[in-house]
Amino acid sequence: MLNRLQPQKSFGDEALDLHVSDSHFLLKVDRLVDWAAFDAHWPGLYGTTGKPSHDPLVCFKMLLIEQWYNLSDPECEAQCADRLSFRRFLGLSLADAIPDETVLVRFRKRLLKARLAEPLFTAVLAQIEAAGVLVRRGTLVDATIVQSARKAPPKGETGGDPDARWAVKGNKPIAHGFKAHIAVDDGSEIVRAIETTNGSVHDAVPMDRLLDRAQASAVYADAAYCDTARRRRLRDAGIAPRIRFNPRGGELTPWQTALNHRWSKVRAKVEHVFADWKERRSLARCRYEGLKKNALHFTLLAMAHNLRRWSVLAA
């Protein structure tokens, strides 16, 4: 049964709040977001009878904390119980119970069953767009392979994560796992769209779907996306195809070389996003088995990224 938190703070809680600076990153995010806008998504996660649930907004915020601070469920539970800044972000008093790791596991399953990953991502993006921080100079498209959570089987053999596949480059297998495909707003580095596939899917396959959702006017991408028919389709759709030319065994003209150099400087910014996710956040390796679970994880990471970027751009 759905339960919403009604915190009652004591004088002690109010005194302890003074020990967390209002300039703390989490509190900046908390002030920017209209969390009530997510209320419409929660009732479908729970039945109308049974034991009252933990506040789903608190659980959702804990999943975001996991992405920002690269925490597991047990680590997140422990740190939320210990850190005043985390409690303030969650809206919990010192007397309020922290959802434990099993609650977070069940909440994640509920999100998957209700297929809420994309609606929540869209809800976050809608608030960011309304804030007017998107630059809209162009859309950067790229993909990255993430190693599966289980040990990879030899190429051509079964085993490991059954949904994962080998990514191949130059006819050589390079990694067994899943791909995160993203469309990023140039200038703000806000992720406009994200899609998850197994590792064997070519980078360019989800491109059209990403651009439809990102509402792109110009697209920057590397040579893996270079295709004459695709360039034509993009132009017909009113999208400028600033995709690096691929010589495919031939030589580039001086004009193509100059354009490649110019476009590469813009396109390279998308790699900053993946570098941050893999080096500082939770994308060094897949945390879960299966395409659906990893798609939820990647989407939560994109939401957390967008909220963090919003807090920077709004400063």
pLDDT, tens digit, for every residue of 243-271? 999 887 678 999 999 999 999 999 999 99
d(CA 45, CA 116): 9
∠ Cα 122 4 102 (to 5°): 80
Q: Across the strands, what pairs with 95? A: none
CA dihedral of 185, 179, 125, 237, whole degrees rounded to 10: 60
Residue whose C-alpha is closest to residue 302's, from 183, 146, 130, 136? 183
Tokens of 115: 């297929």
The residue-averaged pLDDT of 112-126 equals 97
Tokens of 277: 């996710």
Predicted confidence (pLDDT) per residue in 210-220, tens digit: 998 888 889 99
Q: Are 141 and 211 in contact (CB under 8 A)?
A: yes
Q: Are 311 and 305 in contact (CB under 8 A)?
A: no
Tokens of 1: 């049964």
* Residue 137: band (very low, low, confident or very high) from pLDDT cuts 50, 70, 90: confident
Q: Across the strands, what pairs with 141? A: 183
Query: How many of the other CB atoms lie within 10 Å of CB of 238?
Result: 9
Q: Which phi and psi (to 5°) does residue 241 adopt? A: -85, 85
